[in-house]
Amino acid sequence: MPTPSFERLFGRPAAVTASAPGRVNLIGEHTDYNGGYVLPTAIPQRTQVELARRDDDRVRAASANVGSAVFEYRLGAEQRRSRWTDYVQGVTWALGHEGFRLGGVDLRVESRVPLGSGLSSSAALLVALLRAFRDAFALDLADVPLARLAKRAENDFVGAPVGIMDQMACTLAGDRQALFLDTRSLDYTIVALPPGIDLVIVNSGIAHNHAKGDYRTRRAECERAAEALGVAQLRDLEPSDLPRVMALPEPLGRRARHVVTEDERVLAAVRAIKAGDVENLGQLFYASHDSMRDDYEVSIPEIDLLVDLGRADPDIHGARLTGGGFGGSVVLLARPGAAAAAAARLSAEYGRRTGQRATVLVPDGAGR
């Protein structure tokens, strides 16, 4: 069923159109809330927001992804309802708290970033919304503060205790351009992906939700480990600290070991990409996955299967769970030119063995 256009919904054309991509994290998982390093890149799928100002203080919002219903509220009267519209309300709430003067708007969202897939549908929506408001009201809001505001909306209004990686990635990463980010200082560099690196992204079809318990539990475990080791954040530890890390009570030692070794793997991955060393990058992907599965315990059997199918495939150099975990997607490194065929093979075999329907997100259009 075709979903209604902006004009159909609101009786006039949109004045502003803005968008933001989803992201795939290449490596550096569960390091952002520990002050560590991450290396995400943008995916082709984007979330688009069309918007027009109103003369009053009402916000009317519709999403092509959920039908033709229009949700309405007054600026300053935002209230969490545990629905997608919390992201819209979170944005006007955060902008208001930051002292930006807004008026009412009509807006329509359309997302091609699959929800709950570990590819940052939430951050893409928040960043696209903030860009649309920035354009419509000529807000003086640079990219990094915009990413921080998106995080504030998600943490303090939506109630998901996520780190800063996704908002920064959806704001700053580009096509074949990874964002090497120090999540403590927010210093970053853009690392171009050389031609030998061909990504595959397969969504397991099993959705996750970070507002739920497991992500929160991991964060709390990291905080306890840092406190027990006398550091402000796990980022402050070095590989030479691993003996005392592993002396912590279970499971804190393994949780902290994941973070310490993952930070090292991000640094090694940046070196491998710059050297065009795909083999080494692939090995780092597998090592990262093993650490997430065994030490951090955020994988699930279906995701492990996708990674293991990659290990057995001669056209795949590396594979790992990407994003927060407990479902979501796998990112794989394919031999140049082999990505689409490998993705189709893997997802078909996955379907046969699990009965779940995997979707190939990259290469875009493969596997449809």
Instruction: Kindly state whether residue 323 participates in binding ligand GLA, applying the rule CB under 6 A.
Output: yes
Instruction: Kindly state whether residue 330 participates in binding ligand GLA, applying the rule CB under 6 A.
Output: no
Instruction: Kindly state whether residue 90 participates in binding ligand GLA, applying the rule CB under 6 A.
Output: no
| Secondary structure (3-state) at 346 | helix
Q: Which stretch binds ligand GLA (CB under 6 A): 161-169, 231-239, 303-311, 342-350?
A: 161-169
Instruction: Kindly state whether residue 157 participates in binding ligand GLA, applying the rule CB under 6 A.
Output: no
Binding residues for ligand GLA, rule CB under 6 A, total: 12
Bond prior to 363 in cis (omega within 30° of 0): yes
CB atoms within 10 A of CB 195: 9
Q: Which stretch binds ligand GLA (CB under 6 A): 25-33, 73-81, 253-261, 274-282?
A: 25-33
Q: Which stretch binds ligand GLA (CB under 6 A): 158-166, 198-206, 224-232, 310-318?
A: 158-166
| 120 or 366: CB nearest ligand GLA | 120
List 36, 116, 324, 367, residue binding ligand GLA (CB under 6 A): 324
Instruction: Kindly state whether residue 295 participates in binding ligand GLA, applying the rule CB under 6 A.
Output: no
Query: What is the DSSP code string of 146-215?
Result: HHHHHHHIIIIII-----SHHHHHHHH-BTTEEEEEETTT--EEEEEPPTT-EEEEEE-S----TTSHHH
Q: φ and ψ at 181, to 5 degrees? A: -120, 135
Instruction: Kindly state whether residue 95 participates in binding ligand GLA, applying the rule CB under 6 A.
Output: no
The alpha carbon dihedral of 306, 308, 312, 318 has a sign of positive
What is d(CA 103, CA 181) in angstroms, rounded to the nearest whole number? 34
Residue in this structure with the two tokens 């780092």, named with its chain if needed: 284
CB of 109 vs ligand GLA, minimal distance in Å: 19
| 37 or 93: CB nearest ligand GLA | 37
Instruction: Kindly state whether residue 24 participates in binding ligand GLA, applying the rule CB under 6 A.
Output: no
Instruction: Kindly state whether residue 235 participates in binding ligand GLA, applying the rule CB under 6 A.
Output: no
List 50, 86, 166, 297, residue binding ligand GLA (CB under 6 A): 166
List 16, 19, 27, 33, residue binding ligand GLA (CB under 6 A): 33
CB of 160 vs ligand GLA, minimal distance in Å: 7
Instruction: Kindly state whether residue 255 participates in binding ligand GLA, applying the rule CB under 6 A.
Output: no
- The question of whether 175 is a catalytic residue gets the answer no
The single residue of 32, 86, 106, 166 carrying the catalytic annotation is 166
Instruction: Kindly state whether residue 20 participates in binding ligand GLA, applying the rule CB under 6 A.
Output: no
Q: Which stretch binds ligand GLA (CB under 6 A): 43-51, 67-75, 163-171, 189-197?
A: 163-171
| Secondary structure (3-state) at 20 | strand
CB atoms within 10 A of CB 185: 8
List 19, 32, 105, 179, residue binding ligand GLA (CB under 6 A): 32
List 30, 152, 235, 289, residue binding ligand GLA (CB under 6 A): 30
Instruction: Kindly state whether residue 315 participates in binding ligand GLA, applying the rule CB under 6 A.
Output: no
What is d(CA 13, CA 4) in angstroms, rounded to the nearest whole number? 12
Residue 309's closest CA among 266, 278, 354?
A: 354
What is d(CA 47, CA 62) in angstroms, rounded to the nearest whole number? 13
List 24, 132, 162, 303, residue binding ligand GLA (CB under 6 A): 162
Residue 268's closest CA among 259, 257, 280?
A: 280
What is d(CA 217, CA 98) in angstroms, rounded to the nearest whole number? 30
Instruction: Kindly state whether residue 262 participates in binding ligand GLA, applying the rule CB under 6 A.
Output: no
Instruction: Kindly state whether residue 22 participates in binding ligand GLA, applying the rule CB under 6 A.
Output: no
| Residue 31 · residue 168 · CB < 8 Å | no
Instruction: Kindly state whether residue 152 participates in binding ligand GLA, applying the rule CB under 6 A.
Output: no
| 23 or 108: CB nearest ligand GLA | 23
Bond prior to 251 in cis (omega within 30° of 0): yes
Residue in this structure with the two tokens 């009053």, named with its chain if needed: 56
What is d(CA 242, CA 237) in angstroms, rounded to the nearest whole number? 8
Residues annotated as part of the active site: 166
In the complex, the residues that contact ligand GLA under the rule CB under 6 A are: 25, 29-30, 32-33, 162-163, 165-166, 210, 323-324
